[in-house]
């Protein structure tokens, strides 16, 4: 995949149509990652954390490998491998095992609050290692969304909430691994397709989880069919499909904005639990979900151009139009070459377009998938 030009905000320069496709891809990702919670409840009751992670990754790797063969995309370039290796180990390997294990040691609300530190870490690491900017709207949106995630977490914890030191540590480890995996994956997408990065990252994660193969075989023999079916679902949809659409969107925006978009997951989980499981959310849960969505909207919104900037752009266009009329003849004076023409005006190449603004280009594990 060739590198594309970057805007002042750090977003790759893409067309409006591609921007809309990236936004749709991010939407598919957050919906599927939110749906993972229903499946995890069933599969997690029959499978241990490592076995569940390995089974999910094996199912995902098989599907992704088949699609890769059909599309004949082959191996990624050498430059993509460092990012694929790191993201595969951290995000597909460490993150999934740590989160599965951590959720057994702390209540769901506490896990949600701890893992939702991930998007903040992504923004900070993206600024440090990828040279991404931190626009005020992104920071404000993430603050609002994180407050919403905390509200959802508190409402889910209730009086029966519990949190061991081990569980807290595991959830924090999951957040760090998630953030590190995303930031490592971003440069790889400049040298390989979203399908290649996801396929080989998933395969690397599966290899890292092979020590749990014995547990997987033993537990699969006695697990109910519904639990195994949910494990396969986790591998095919929230892993194979959702991680590929995530990579597609990530290649076309900043890591920080993508991380902020995943704050929509807690709100969607609340709605899905209400619709599919009949779990009526508390008032605090609804408020928290609304804050999550509002924060995502703010972080992805496009700032309006200032009045001086608009005036400057209009003046440039007027000068460009007046250029040929200032011509005094071949010998001298200001002709078409000296006029402020299309190249001097604030045109498509110099404008702060969709990629320069906090626009469409900007998208949590098990909390994001």
- The pLDDT of residue 271: 86
274 and 210 Cβ atoms separated by less than 8 Å: no
pLDDT band of residue 351 (cuts 50, 70, 90) is very low
Chain-centroid distance, C-alpha 208: 23
**What is the chain's mean pLDDT, rounded?**
81
Alpha-carbon span 178 to 87, nearest angstrom: 8
Q: Please, which residues have CB within 8 angstroms of residue 312's CB and are 6 or more apart in sequence? A: 346
Is a pLDDT exceeding 70 seen at residue 305?
Answer: no
State the number of CA atoms in the 13 A half-sphere of 53 facing the CB.
31
Average pLDDT over residues 269-282: 81
- The pLDDT of residue 306: 53
Chain-centroid distance, C-alpha 305: 27
What sign has the CA pseudo-torsion 37, 141, 186, 122? negative
Alpha-carbon span 97 to 41, nearest angstrom: 15
In which residue are the tokens 């396969």 written? 232
In which residue are the tokens 């749990």 written? 212
Tens digit of each residue's pLDDT (9 = 90 or more) over 216-232: 999 999 999 999 999 99
SS3 label, residue 106: strand
SS3 label, residue 163: strand
The whole-model pTM stands at 0.76
Tens digit of each residue's pLDDT (9 = 90 or more) over 8-32: 444 556 688 888 999 999 999 999 9
pLDDT band of residue 353 (cuts 50, 70, 90) is very low
- The pLDDT of residue 162: 62
């Amino acid at each position: 995949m060739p590198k594309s030009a970057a805007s002042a905000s750090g977003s790759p320069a893409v067309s409006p149509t591609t921007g809309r496709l990236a936004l749709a891809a991010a939407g598919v990702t957050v919906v599927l990652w939110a749906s993972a919670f229903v499946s995890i409840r069933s599969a997690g009751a029959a499978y241990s954390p490592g076995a569940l992670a390995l089974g999910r990754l094996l199912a995902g790797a098989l599907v992704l490998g088949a699609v890769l063969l059909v599309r004949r995309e082959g191996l990624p370039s050498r430059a993509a491998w460092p990012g694929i290796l790191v993201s595969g180990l951290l995000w597909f390997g460490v993150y999934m095992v740590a989160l599965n294990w951590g959720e057994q040691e702390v209540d769901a609300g506490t896990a949600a609050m701890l893992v939702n530190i991930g998007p903040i870490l992504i923004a900070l690491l993206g600024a440090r290692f990828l040279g991404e900017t931190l626009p005020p709207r992104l920071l404000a949106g993430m603050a609002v969304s994180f407050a919403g995630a905390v509200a959802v977490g508190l409402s889910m914890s209730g009086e029966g909430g519990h949190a061991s030191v081990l569980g807290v540590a595991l959830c924090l480890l999951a957040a760090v691994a998630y953030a590190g995996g995303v930031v490592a994956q971003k440069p790889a997408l400049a040298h390989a397709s979203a399908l290649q990065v996801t396929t080989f990252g998933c395969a690397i994660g599966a290899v890292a989880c092979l020590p749990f193969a014995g547990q997987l075989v033993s537990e699969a023999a006695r697990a109910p069919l519904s639990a195994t079916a949910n494990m396969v679902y986790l591998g095919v949809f929230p892993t194979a499909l959702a991680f590929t659409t995530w990579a597609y969107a990530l290649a076309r925006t900043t890591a920080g904005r993508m991380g902020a978009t995943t704050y929509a997951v807690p709100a969607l989980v609340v709605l899905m639990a209400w619709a599919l499981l009949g779990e009526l959310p508390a008032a605090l849960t609804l408020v928290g979900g609304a804050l999550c969505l509002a924060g995502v909207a703010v972080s992805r919104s496009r700032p309006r151009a200032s009045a001086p900037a608009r005036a400057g752009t209009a003046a440039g266009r007027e000068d460009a139009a007046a250029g040929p009329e200032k011509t005094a003849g071949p010998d001298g004076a200001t002709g078409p070459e000296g006029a402020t023409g299309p190249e001097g005006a604030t045109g498509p190449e110099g404008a702060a377009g969709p990629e320069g603004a906090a626009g469409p280009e900007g998208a949590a594990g098990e909390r994001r998938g």
